[in-house]
Amino acid sequence: MSTDAALDVTLVRNATVLATVDETTFLVDPVFAERGALPPIDDTPNKRNNPLVPMPDIDLAHDAVVVTHRHPDHFDEAAVEALDPDVPLFCQPAEADAFVEDGFTDVRPVEGPASFDGVTLRRTPGRHGHGELAEAMGPVSGFVFEGAETLYLAGDTVWYEPVAETLARVEPDAVVLNGGAARFNRDEPITMGVNDVRAVRDATDAAVAVVHMEAINHCLLSREELRAATEDVLVPEDGERIGF
């Protein structure tokens, strides 16, 4: 799939993005449910059905799929029904069997470096919250995509030392963070808030974009608030393409 840039990302909705590295497009964390078709996340400050917003009308063509983890705001039944069962699907090793059970025939759990159409994929650590809650949330991953330029897609994580280590080791050209400061009625946020995004911005010379906002009921940080509280950070709207 030809693009004008060696690296670009289109935000579809929430954490669903199309990441094009060189000429290969990866569909990341597909959630295709119609607006309001899913129940609210439990034990959260409001009871609005998810997703809060409709899917934008954009081309979702892709060469492969990447799922950072199988929480319902990152992979849903509508995606199972819509995706080609033979599509190459990259995932965490712990979740590979679940995708096979869903009917996917080309599941590729990422342990060490993986290669696809000349792009190298590497899985990176994440911490989905703080303390015991992070343990309860189960394993989550980010992914690095290496082609002519390098993209670090951090996944559902807060700022912590392994994120800093990944930035220092990979030296990416672009970083995509999951923001929104998602939270439950107790404990601290489980995705990045303002201070986490600022920490990433201070730690890298890469372009930084933030997604995972204004689409799921427990994501309480708005785009307007994040833009006002940060500098040199891209906060795209649904359907918006960013060329790096």
Fold topology of 7-243: Metallo-beta-lactamase; Chain A (3.60.15)
97 pLDDT above the threshold of 70:
yes
pLDDT digits 0-9 by tens, 110-132: 999 999 999 999 999 999 998 88
Residue 187 CA from chain centroid, whole number: 22
CA-CA distances (angstroms) from residue 87 to 73, 123, 145?
A: 20, 19, 18
What pLDDT shows up at residue 1? Answer: 41
Confidence of residue 3 (pLDDT cuts 50, 70, 90): very low
**pLDDT for residue 5:** 66
Q: Which of 240, 170, 222, 220 is nearest to 200 (CA)?
A: 170
pLDDT digits (tens, 9 = 90+) for 144-181: 999 999 999 999 999 999 999 999 999 999 999 999 99
Give the pLDDT band (50/70/90) at residue 4. low
Residue with tokens 């929430």, as numbered in its chain: 14
Q: Spell out the domain ranges in the chain.
A: 7-243
Sign for the CA dihedral angle at 218, 223, 224, 228 comes to positive
What's this model's pTM, rounded to 2 decimal places?
0.96
Q: What is the pLDDT of residue 135?
A: 85
Percent of the chain with pLDDT strictly greater than 70: 98
Cβ atoms of 121 and 114 within 8 Å: the answer is yes
What residues are paired with 65 via a beta bridge? 27, 89
